[in-house]
Structure 1
Amino acid sequence: MAVGEEEIQEALQKAREKSTDRNFTQTFDLSISVKGLDLSNPENRINEEIILPHGTGKAQKVAIFADGELAEKARKGGADKVFSKDELEELGDDSTEAKKIAEEYGSFLAQADLMPVVGKELGSVLGPRGKMPQAVTPTEDPSDLIKESRSTVRISVRENPVANLPVGKEDMPDDQIIENIQTVLDFLVEQLPKGPRQIKSITLKTTMGKPVKLEVY
């Protein structure tokens, strides 16, 4: 672990104090800088999804590319949008709409046998955004995956040695935000070849607030 629970608690309290009053509930943003990681080597790049134990405070919209039985299960399972194969192919011919969809939905699922079609039609749009869908078998009940996707955040260290991601909302209890932060840090440490020694700095802030630096050891 690169930082202890007491340090996270203290930083969270300071971030709340430094938060500027706004007429909306602000997000807590975590920024983690790493060192000694050669990002020119694709094997060192990190681009993974993490399920936060308490979510971000705002459920992500989830879409699925599916037909038939799986499409019906996805609708019953709470998917925000179900795109058929025909609709998927139409998106491939409309780059403006494809980009709009890519931004609107936080996470995507896809019927396993449609994955090649997704790659062909939307790979250039979803890939760079780190939103290529998770495959679902046609007979699978996607309800749990849809639920998990709503609490998922992506941690990405690819072009720059810094990961930025939301870890909660101002109206969430401290213990939930702390557990979310610990989950992210534990995950990142496991991904780094030299573990916590490669954590350079960590800051926490609200959307409009000033950043608070956590003590790294």
Structure 2
Amino acid sequence: MDESSVLEKIGVCLENKPKKKFKQSIELGLGFTGINIQDSTYKLNTTVHLPKGRGKEVEVGVFADGDMNVNAQKHSQHVLNKDEIESYAKTKAKMRKHARDCYSFIAQPDLLPVIGKTWGVVLGTRGKMPQPVPPNADLSQVIPRMKDTVRLKTKKNPSIHVPVGSEGMTAEDILENIKAVLDEIEKKIPREHIQTAYVKTTMGEAVRLW
């Protein structure tokens, strides 16, 4: 990757973004070639931490009881205890809204069976099944890191789209995030199979990186 060229094109993407009343995300799109993306050798289903952050707030939902529930409420607006987990499960629309409102989830390990049984159909299809976190974990560290962690998941098409930042971030910081994403992807898919790369803002036009 020619970093100076990529940096310049990220700058073009940021300069040409349409003005909106909300903070637009910056998305990286990659197209793969010469592989069967359905082959488990190449299929992606993992996460990567963005070293320079997302540049905007996202919500991390928490399923927890007791002290963990109390602590989680300091860092998330979407915290459910066991009774609430079961109560929400009676209304699919309520579960779906909760799933939409949160980018990712964490859960107290002993609640995973009930979450899987009641919420699996909603969270599983969205790739949002919760990550287990011990009740004594320092949520002031865990949740902010989760907010800057993005999913890498391929589906049927040989491509992937990943948030790598937001408007207001520098091109240099977005480049660092892109490099982190590529490093993780290349653990499964060699660079020679990444045929095309684009960046775009939420409402802007795509700018080809290579």
TM-score, scaled to structure 2: 0.92
* Percent of matched pairs sharing the same residue: 37
The 8 Å contact of residues 56 and 166 in structure 1, kept in 2 or not, is answered as: yes
Does 2:184 match 1:187? yes
CA–CA distance in structure 2, aligned partners of residues 50 and 128 of structure 1: 20
Question: In the TM superposition, what is the alpha-carbon distance from 1:196 to its structure 2 partner?
Answer: 0.5
Please, which moves more after superposition, 43-52 or 64-73? 43-52
Q: Hey, what does 1:175 align to over in structure 2? A: 172
Gaps of 5+ in 2: none
CA–CA distance in structure 2, aligned partners of residues 43 and 84 of structure 1: 38
Does 2:30 match 1:35? no
Q: Hey, what does 1:69 align to over in structure 2? A: 67
Question: In the TM superposition, what is the alpha-carbon distance from 1:43 to its structure 2 partner?
Answer: 5.0
Q: Hey, what does 2:58 align to over in structure 1? A: 60
Q: Hey, what does 2:191 align to over in structure 1? A: 196
Match of 1:166 among 163, 181, 188: 163
Gaps of 5+ in 1: none
Show CA shifts across 1:16-70 (max 9, x none).
3432333443322110111233233345321212111122211211111110122
Q: Hey, what does 2:17 align to over in structure 1? A: 19
Please, which moves more after superposition, 34-43 or 155-164? 34-43
The 8 Å contact of residues 91 and 121 in structure 1, kept in 2 or not, is answered as: no
Q: SS of 1:190's equivalent?
A: coil
Q: SS of 1:166's equivalent?
A: strand
Match of 1:206 among 182, 201, 205: 201
Task: Rate the CA distance shift 1:172–1:86 in 2: closer, same or farther, 3 A.
Answer: same
CA–CA distance in structure 1, aligned partners of residues 94 and 37 of structure 2: 32
CA–CA distance in structure 1, aligned partners of residues 155 and 100 of structure 2: 20
The 8 Å contact of residues 27 and 200 in structure 2, kept in 1 or not, is answered as: yes
Q: Hey, what does 2:78 align to over in structure 1? A: 81
Show CA shifts across 1:160-208 (max 9, x none).
211112211221122111111111111111221xx10110110111222
Q: Hey, what does 1:114 align to over in structure 2? A: 111
CA RMSD of aligned residues (A): 1.7
